[in-house]
Structures are given as structure tokens and as C-alpha cells.
Amino acid sequence: MAYRWTNDLTQADVTPKAAYLNRRQILAGTIGLGAIGLAGRANAQDLEPNTLEEITSYNNFYEFGTGKSDPAQNAHQLVTSPWSIKVDGMVDNPGDYALDDLLAGLSVEDRLYRFRCVEAWSMVVPWNGIELADILNKVGVQSGAKYVAFETVVQPENMIGVQRRVLDFPYVEGLRLDEAMHPLTIMATGIYDEPLANQNGAPIRLVVPWKYGFKSIKSIVRITLTDQEPPISWNVANAREYGFYSNVNPTVDHPRWSQATERRIGGGLFASRQDTLMFNGYPEVASLYEGMDLSVDF
Amino acid sequence: MDIAGKLNAVLRRIPAPTVYIVGAIYAAWQFWLALNQIGPYLAEPINILERAYGEVALILLVVGLLVTPLRKWTGVNLMKFRRAIGVTAFFFVLAHFLVFAILDVQSIGRVWTEIVKRPYVTIGMASFLMLIPLAVTSNNRSVRKLGGATWRKLHKLTYPAAVFGAVHYLWLVKGFQMEPIVYLVVILGLLSLRLKWNPARVAP
């Protein structure tokens, strides 16, 4: 017998889309329904992407200078073709891969991600990229490997910031293998369906949306699988301020500034700060850090 | 006539308040660019404007410290502009602080937290506070009231204020950056010159 129960809710009581998408995201993260990729995309639907002009004009890429507009001014000198990536360490198929060969047969997906800089500003970027897991599976990760290390190109004659030794170049980064294999982790090759601008890390860069932006290393020329935690540039420069994990975490301040709030790029001179979200709003990665004290392993 | 003399002849014809006018026009121009998100202000105007005002303040503090050595070495006399340079520096520090407090941090509670919790903000704030009495007494009436000696003594606060300003800059940047180091070295250099010239310190 139908209509035994009468619904007294109206359209106004419908759960907002953003809220239920979030809930599904949390479910996916904790129970591991395999819906992580779906949740990642669903979560993105309420995000308003920044313009390409904003994304390409406000950058940190210290090899081209420390000012925010320096990379846009200087990165045109970077030579991105031909481009090859050295894959070495604990892999089945090491070698120097031409970029096209490394990516051949792998699918490029659209990923609209929040991007949170450690300096407490943020953007929303419509990346085009390939899941890093696909690339790693292609080269064959050996069983003992625990970490993935990355290295940025150094072209001293084309990168005017390299001589200034702001950091110890080449810029290096790294992820734990499970972070690297997470479906949210991509190697981006484009933004807005256009090839990456040089200042955004052409021709290929890492994007790890739940970590501070400096983890998302640009213009990658080397990927190394290893069983040791690899050094990362900002940690080498200042271990007190920059940890290996560097997950976005509003409860752990940078020693010199608060991480509780952030300013979304593009809001103009009177833009309000907004609250920073744990894991930058990607709670499905929380299970990667179970049992860890994130104020110690920051 | 030598170059310094010619320069001084030109400088004599420029009224000192020109410094205020140029400063105000520059500050307003930068604000207008930021408001309309033009040029370097395209993506993120708040932080860039904050930096722009702070850097002008630092430059003016350096120029203010340069006036005396410049006259000693080259004979170029900027003395009549010095007070205006100092007061304009103060206004840029004030503008820098207001952008920080109102546009950047956006709440009194958070401003206070930043001042107390972040050493680079604390030292910047200390520099700002030191400049307040100097700005307030930058008029002839105050010179008469305090007496020349006391007034000059008070205005030696520009020395620590400039050093604190440069340290504030050095402390806030990421990585090993040249620019703030250059400011600090130049300021310390200009101050060390003064140590030698002070006969009271040279004589044992």
C-alpha cells in the first residue's frame, strides 16, 4: 500500500548539492568505496575556476625570480621541447623517456582543483592531467619502493633566478608512494585545455591538491622511485617551516603566519578571507594519515 | 660651477612640500592600479599593494639617512627636504599598516594575534610605533618646544626604526633573497658612518 507515509518536507528542505556531495566524499574516504575519483570530481562542481589570466600571472617559480609576476615575465625563455624525463630507481622499466612516449596511451582528464599556497592564498584551477598512478604503473614500481622523488629542470642560461641561489637548485620534491598513487594526484599537462604555460610548470608538473602548492613541483625532468624519504627543497632550506608532508592544515600555523584562513585570488582589493579547509577540502585523503600526529609530521 | 653646485641651484628652486605631493600622487596612483587590478595588481592586489607601500617606506627611510652623508661626500644638499622625506616615509608605513590591517588580515583580533605571535610583524609594528612620535613632532613648534638638542635626540629613533623595518622585510621573505639583505646592509652602512662622525664616540 503506497502513500502510507506523508512527506511533510518541501523543496526548500532539499539538502544543498554541495553538502551531499561532501558527505559522499567523506564516505568514499573512510569506507573506501572506490568512488574516490567520482567524489573528487563531484566535489569540484561548486568551485568557480580562476581565469587563465589570473592563473598565468600570479606564480611562484623561483627559478624565474621571487616576485609574483617574475615567472610570467621571464619563463618564456624556458625550452620545453624536446622534453624527456629520466625515470630511475626502483622501477621495472627505467630510462630516459621522451615526454610523449611516457604519456602515450594514458588518458588526460579534467580536474578542477582548489590550489592552496603555503603563503595563504589560493586559486581554483581547471587542470588537464594524467593520474600519476597510471604513469607509475606504466614504468612498473618495484615492491620495495616507498617514495617517489621528483626534480625540476635546471637551464641556468634560461632561468634567471637559478644563479641567485634563493633555494638549492635543482628544485626537488617527493611523495610517499601511497600519496603518489592516490587518484587525486595528477601530472598536469594543461590548464583550460591549453598546454601549460611555462610559468605554470610546462610541459608537465605534479598536482597534489591537498598539499601546499610548493609540493606540486613544476617542469619535471626526473622521477625516482626509492625506499628512502627523499629530500625536498623547502625542507632543506628551512626544516622548521616546511615539512615533508606539508598537507594543507588550518590548525597547524606556519611559524611566521597563520594557515587558518586564505585569500582566494581574483576577488580584488576588498576580497574577504575565507576559512582554509582541512586537506584543502579533500577529506578522502585523511585515511592516508591515520595514526599520524599531523602537528608533528606537518 | 661644479655638478653639486648646479644640482643645489636646481634643488633650491624646488619647494620642500613637493615631496608630500609626489608621495601622495604615487600612493594614490598605486591604490588606483590595485583597485582596478592593473599590471602587477592583476591577480592579487592586496598583497602587492602592501608590499609596494612597505617598500617605498623603506626606500624613503634610506633616503632620509642618506641626506647627511651625501652632503658630506658630494656637497649635494637635500637637507631642506629631509623632514618631508621622513614624514612621507611615515605616511607610507601608515598606509602599509592600514592595508595589512584592513584589507589583508581583516579583523582587529587577527591583527593583534599577528602582532603578538609573529616576530616579523612585532618588529615591523615596533618600527611603526617609533615613527609616530617623530611624525607628530615634525613641525617647527615642536622643535621650539622640545629644544633643538632634545628634538634631535628624539629623532635619532629613525635609526632603530629603519633597522627594524629592514629586519621586518628580511624576516618575512621565503628562501635566501637578496633585496631585503641589500636594504639592511645599506642601512647599517649608513648608520656606521654616523658612529665615526660623532666626536663624542671617537674620543676616549
pLDDT tens across B129-182, in order? 999 999 999 999 999 999 999 999 999 999 999 999 999 999 999 888 999 999
- Cβ contact, residue pair A269, B45, below 8 Å: yes
Name every chain B residue with its beta carbon within 8 A of the beta carbon of A258.
110, 113-114
Best B50, B174, B176, B178 member to test A by mutation, with max A CBs in 10 Å, is B174
Q: Residue A265: enclosing H or E segment and its boundaries? A: none
Name every chain B residue with its beta carbon within 8 A of the beta carbon of A121.
44, 47
Q: Which residues contact B118 (CB under 8 A, 6 or more apart)?
A: A256, A257
Indicate if the pLDDT at residue A164 is higher than 70.
yes
What's the full length of chain A, in residues?
298
- Tell me the sheet residues that pair with A129: A109, A188
pTM here is 0.84
C-alpha cell at A24: 559522499
Helical spans, DSSP H, in chain A: 17-31, 36-43, 52-57, 70-74, 99-103, 132-139, 177-181, 233-237
Q: Are strands A121-131 and A261-264 parallel, antiparallel or unpaired?
A: parallel
Cβ atoms < 10 Å from Cβ of B43 = 24
Percent of chain A at pLDDT above 90? 83
Among B77, B78, B85, CA closest to B61: B85
Print the domain residue range for B61: 3-202
Q: Is B116 on the interface with A (CB under 8 A)?
A: no
> From B32, which residue of chain A is nearest by alpha-carbon distance?
A269
Q: Is B174 on the interface with A (CB under 8 A)?
A: yes
Pairwise CA distance, residues B48 & A21, whole Å: 36
Indicate if the pLDDT at residue B115 is higher than 70.
yes
**Which DSSP category does B36 fall into?**
T
> From A50, which residue of chain B is nearest by alpha-carbon distance?
B43
pLDDT tens across B67-81, in order? 999 999 999 999 999
Give the CATH class of A47-289.
Answer: alpha beta
CA distance B35 to chain A (A): 6
Q: Which residues contact A263 (CB under 8 A, 6 or more apart)?
A: A120, A121, A122, A271, A273, A274, B44, B46, B47, B104
Domain count, chain B: 1
Are A60 and A54 a contacting pair, CB within 8 Å? no
Q: Are strands A220-226 and A84-89 parallel, antiparallel or unpaired?
A: parallel
Name every chain A residue with its beta carbon within 8 A of the beta carbon of B105.
273
Name every chain A residue with its beta carbon within 8 A of the beta carbon of B177.
66, 164, 166
> What's the distance, Cα to Cα, between the start and end of chain A in Å?
57
